[in-house]
Amino acid sequence: MIYPWTIALLILTGSLVFGYVLKQTSLPILSSLLRRFNVETKPGESLALSRYLVLWMACLGVELLPFFVAIPPEHWVKIHKTLDCILIFSVGLALADFLIVLLREKMGRGPIDLPATTLTVNLVRILVMIIAILMVFSILGIAIAPLLTALGIGSLAVALGLQDTLSNLFAGIYILTSRIIQIGDYIKLETGQEGFVVDVGLRTIHLKTLSSMMIYVPTAKASQSVLTNLAHPTPDFSTPVEVHVDYGNDLEKVEQVTLETAKDVMEKMNAPPDQQPATVRFHSFGDSGIEFTVYLRAPEINLRLLLVHEFIKALTKNYRDAGIRFSLPQRVVHMSQI
């Protein structure tokens, strides 16, 4: 009896070694196959898709054991069902990983006009695994209908216990399907939180502020809040700058120098050719001079502070060269002689 089990051990060892070699050699083939479908993978994604090959080769080695080792039929039936369950689960995981890679590449483009977020990725994974679990139940001879009836009764209690979680989940689905926001948009909530949308998870929306801090907003609160999407309808942002000049200045000259300065600074910020030009609007007679607002257009919101910084430096220099005086805080009081 030693000889057959030695053969069995060699078969299992050989199947593991063959699976490892196949895993390493299949990486370039898998990447090439994905590129044929116009799917560009990250460095670790191809490895993740091929990691199940060793397990599948080990299952194949176990399937070959009855040809060399006498296994009682009642034991082999249990082993065979166990192998079937392992194969179904592993194939389900591999299929879920492949669909996630495909969705991350294709979502947001073409017919699939949804962003690839944590929420959509997890929904795909859950759907695939539910199908795999139902197939495993069928192999094990577990009746699904009574189980679904029991789940239907118990789901009411679960829904009451997970009311907040489910409300956040469905709010996230609504936000994604309605395309109110997209990954990369800069949004501002009425509660004051603002930032770039990094991800939409099962319970929260992940925002990254301009200072690189993360804010996590429950999706249910975000869907019920007044939300301002600063990335739509155009990606550029209006940036107002208040300027005060002395009453003795020529306002036509002030407007000309200001607009030329704003144009030069915006061009240095790589503004697109079709971007709206800067505008100047005089609006008040102040205590010490004329007050007006310069409306700059930043190509991206994260360049807004840099744009104002460069504009103030350039405007100060150009006003000095043109002989234009800023207004100084002062108040003139005229007193009549008594």
Residue 11: pLDDT over 90: no
The long-range contacts involving 152-159, CB below 8 angstroms and separated by at least 24 positions, are: none
Query: Which amino acid, 310?
Result: E
Which ranges constitute the DSSP H helices of 112-250? Answer: 118-140, 144-161, 163-178, 219-224
- pLDDT at position 316: 93
Q: Find out whether the peptide bond into 233 is cis, omega within 30 degrees of 0.
A: yes
Residue 91: pLDDT over 50: yes
Give the residue-averaged pLDDT of 33-56.
63
Look up the CATH number of domain 143-233.
2.30.30.60
Report pLDDT digits (tens) over 253-270. Answer: 999 999 999 989 988 887
Give every CB contact of residue 66 below 8 A, 6+ residues apart in sequence: 76
Pairing relation of β-strands 186-189 and 227-229? antiparallel
Residue 319: pLDDT over 90: yes
Give the residue-averaged pLDDT of 275-288.
87
User: How many Cβ atoms sit within 10 Å of the Cβ of residue 166?
Assistant: 15
Share of the chain residues as helix, strand and coil, in percent rounded to the nearest 5: 55, 15, 30
Question: pTM above the 0.75 mark?
Answer: no
- pLDDT at position 110: 46
Q: Between 44 and 147, whose confidence is greater? A: 147
CB-neighbour burial class of residue 238 (10 A; exposed 0-12, middle 13-18, buried 19+): middle
**H or E element in which residue 112 lies:** none
Give the residue-averaged pLDDT of 36-47.
56
Give the residue-averaged pLDDT of 199-208.
85
**H or E element in which residue 204 lies:** strand 204-208
- pLDDT at position 294: 93
Residue 29: pLDDT over 90: no
Residue 12: pLDDT over 70: yes
Look up the CATH number of domain 237-322.
3.30.70.100
Instruction: Tell me the backbone φ, ψ of residue 292, rounded to 5 degrees.
Output: -150, 165
